[in-house]
Structure 1
């Protein structure tokens, strides 16, 4: 999934001269190092910098960017969305945050939770 297909909210995570998401920009937004981001999305640190891996990195970053875009829309502010992503436990997940769940490979569960909340279902 390219940065352009994630909508205007997510385009800030793309590089100007590439159709792919930028790991550097996502890391800056989250306030984490590239090594921490690589661990979060399940790729090797060197993969983030390799031009030949841009499609793989884009695919791994897409769920994070989607979550941040939806959370930003709901919170009304990007910085609040990042704080929520990193620090707010999600009900029903034993105190785990969205950050924790993404690291566990459960980004789809976070997106489902956000969609439920957006639809008026509060856990």
Structure 2
């Protein structure tokens, strides 16, 4: 078994230097600042800064908060054909049944699970 088989699409959102997700990488992909990303995922800006400094307590908290966003982006990227398309969808495409709200809006409201459920339904052909 090769390591390629063990890799998840979400591994692209990591940092080679530390075993945690990279807030900077996610922020760059979404075209937002670290402060905006921190507000989106509901953590203090300092928590993301602590992650960049690889302090374990801050890094774990940031990793847990980033995880749903990364899962959404990875799943959307598989379906849309790339990270850039996933980021555009995440920020700009209204999700049916949510009054014109985007995945970005719903994640900001703490409803990342609803976005993941929607993506699973689309992948299963429910909304196809």
The two structures have a TM-score, normalised by structure 2, of 0.88
Shift of 1:17: 1.9
Secondary structure at the counterpart of residue 18 of structure 2: coil
Return 5+ residue gaps in structure 2 as ranges.
Answer: 1-5
Shift of 1:8: 3.1
Which of 91, 94, 97 is the matching residue for 1:89?
A: 94
Rg larger in structure: 2
CA RMSD of aligned residues (A): 1.4
1:55 matched to 2:60? The reply is yes
Q: State the match for 1:69 in structure 2.
A: 74
Q: State the match for 2:15 in structure 1.
A: 15
Give aligned pairs, total. Answer: 118
Matches of 1:80 and 1:34 in 2, distance apart?
21
Q: Which consecutive aligned stretches of 4+ in structure 1 deviate over 6 angstroms post-superposition?
A: none
Give the number of the structure whose residues are more often strand, by fraction: 2
Q: State the match for 1:45 in structure 2.
A: 45
Q: State the match for 1:103 in structure 2.
A: 108
Shift of 1:73: 0.2
